[in-house]
Amino acid sequence: QQPVQSPQAVILREGEDAVINCSSSKALYSVHWYRQKHGEAPVFLMILLKGGEQKGHDKISASFNEKKQQSSLYLTASQLSYSGTYFCGTDPNAGGTSYGKLTFGQGTILTVHP
Amino acid sequence: SQTIHQWPATLVQPVGSPLSLECTVEGTSNPNLYWYRQAAGRGLQLLFYSVGIGQISSEVPQNLSASRPQDRQFILSSKKLLLSDSGFYLCAWSGQGGFQPQHFGDGTRLSIL
């Protein structure tokens, strides 16, 4: 089943923060986050594993709440380059049975204005 | 470093015509390979994945098929295209084992007339 992302779209000014949520009705073992700019291929951001800690690089970080089966992506002090569509991909399988079969959410469109 | 090549970038085909999209990966061996379709303004739908030569798993029943004739080559085919086959097709690769990031090719924009 497809995970649900919220919000569907968000508009920011440079320097503002945003949170994108990804919720699943199935138990998850890993959540992947990708960013896709218009007309381009998705680019990998990070993977979060069940039982793992919050991850991040630069001003983008993410967390994984096992009880809620939800992951959140945090973008702080947004830059123009953060604009794009953010997708979460979920995998209910543990390492030995995971072949990277991801189910992606419908995407969240993030627009950052000067 | 690893690179993934996908072609053609755009394709316009009539209904009922055949299809062949090719994807190759360089700089790695025995990758997992994936074909996705993305409808306009929508998310990514996994069509096929492969964990080795000749091994193909289909995720969605349809009139498309995939083949992996060589370790780093993945082909998406159809004998007769339907209007509903229009979309943005993306090939991706990842390392073996679980929890590997997927790296996408530049995609093929397919329009069916």
pLDDT of A74 reads: 95
Of B32, B43, B90, the CB nearest to A105: B43
B46 with A106: Cβ contact below 8 A: no
Q: B49 contacts in A (CB within 8 Å)?
A: 99-101
pLDDT of A98 reads: 65
Query: Closest Cα of chain B to A7: distance in Å?
Result: 14
Mutate to test the interface with A, among B3, B44, B46 (most CBs of A within 10 A): B44
Q: B34 contacts in A (CB within 8 Å)?
A: 100
For the ranges A12-16, A57-61, B1-5, the lowest mean pLDDT is seen at A57-61
Using CB atoms within 10 A of its CB, is residue B76 exposed (0-12), middle (13-18) or buried (19+)?
A: buried
pLDDT of A95 reads: 61
A9 or A98: whose pLDDT is higher? A9
pLDDT band with cut points at 50, 70 and 90 for residue A70: very high
- Amino acid at the residue A36: Q
For the ranges A41-55, B6-20, B49-63, B91-105, the lowest mean pLDDT is seen at A41-55
Is A55's pLDDT higher than 90? no
Phi, psi at B80, each rounded to 5°: -145, 110
How far, in Å, CA of B89 to CA of B34, rounded? 10
pLDDT of A66 reads: 84
What count of residues does chain A have?
A: 114
| Average pLDDT value for chain B | 93
Where are the extended beta strands (E) located within B40-80?
A: 44-52, 55-58, 64-70, 73-78
pLDDT band with cut points at 50, 70 and 90 for residue B77: very high
pLDDT of A52 reads: 66
pLDDT of A96 reads: 61
- Mean pLDDT along residues B91-113: 92
Q: Which residues sit opposite A95 in a β-bridge? A: none
Digit-coded pLDDT (tens) for A25-34: 988 888 999 9
Peptide bond into B31 cis (omega under 30): no
Q: B93 contacts in A (CB within 8 Å)?
A: none
pLDDT band with cut points at 50, 70 and 90 for residue A53: low
Locate the chain A residue with the closest alpha carbon to B102: A44
Query: Closest Cα of chain B to A35: distance in Å?
Result: 11
**Residues with Cβ < 8 Å from A8, sequence gap 6 or more?**
A106, A107, A108, A109
Query: Closest Cα of chain A to B39: distance in Å?
Result: 11
Q: B106 contacts in A (CB within 8 Å)?
A: 40-41
- Mean pLDDT along residues B59-82: 93
Q: Could you give the strand order of the β-sheet that contains A70-75, starting from the edge strand earlier in sequence?
A: A4-6, A18-23, A70-75, A60-65, A55-57
Is A59's pLDDT higher than 80? yes
